[in-house]
A = this chain, B = another copy of it.
Amino acid sequence: MVHPSSSTSDRRERERGQRRALILRAAERVFAAAGFHGASVESIAAEAELATGTIYLYFINKEALYASVFEEKIAEKVAYIESEARATDDPLDGLRRAVRAQLDFYDQHRAFFEIFLRQNPVTPPPGQAAAALAPKLYQRHVELLRELIEAAQRQDQIRPLQSEKLAPLLIGMAVQITRDGLGQDPREPLADQAELVLELFLHGVAAK
């Protein structure tokens, strides 16, 4: 106990973080069910079993809360993809795992992506605070794939095409698979289609 006073503020800070997380989880559920405008701050507070005003102690306004929900989820997604892709040394296998992880994450967070794919990144004042972090995370996703592609290129496994153009195409295919699977119920695991995506990406569909 060198700094007894700081241990108190540590606890304070920890509790604050927990409450913030509590609100984020509640908000995610409510936004997923009702969309940005359909979700009232009051209903989010109720879902979190807090008073309406309390939300504003943790987020300056509704839009910031929405943005935070988004960012945390997308950060989680990118982190998941990254960890999966880094689990191998083979760049092509890394790409395969990255695509599979992307589809898998969609599968695991289906309710959330029902909003994500409808409102990207946020409906209201476009180009506002909400859009701040999300593009950066997308960039990280792109960068990860680029690295893998370039590693494969260095090993002559992939042709010397512009990696910054290829990465989005790979992402776009996975996103479209998700979008198609969106309203469908019951559904097969999207991740199953990762192999097809990679096959196409690597070898194309043309007959030899």
Contact = CB atoms under 8 A, between A and B. Distances in A.
Interface of A: 34-38, 114, 117-127, 149, 156-159, 161, 165-166, 168-169, 171-177, 179-180, 183, 193, 196-197, 199-207
Given A37-B124, A172-B173, A176-B175, A157 B200 contact: no
Contacts of A161: 196, 200, 205
A44 to B, nearest CB: 16
Contacts of A34: 126
A36 to B, nearest CB: 7
Given A34-B126, A159-B206, A172-B176, 19 more contacts: A35-B124, A35-B126, A114-B126, A117-B120, A118-B120, A118-B121, A118-B122, A119-B119, A120-B120, A158-B205, A159-B207, A168-B177, A168-B180, A172-B174, A172-B177, A175-B176, A200-B200, A201-B204, A202-B204
Contacts of A177: 168-169, 172
Given A172-B175, A176-B175, A193-B165, A123 B36 contact: yes
A118 B161 CA distance: 29
Contact of A169 (B124, B156, B157, B197): B197
Given A35-B124, A204-B201, A204-B204, A169 B158 contact: no
Contacts of A38: 123-126
Contacts of A207: 156-159
A36 B37 CA distance: 10
A180 B123 CA distance: 17
A156 B208 CA distance: 9
Contacts of A203: 203-204, 206
A206 B126 contact: no
A104 to B, nearest CB: 17
A63 B203 CA distance: 44
Contact of A205 (B120, B166, B176): B166
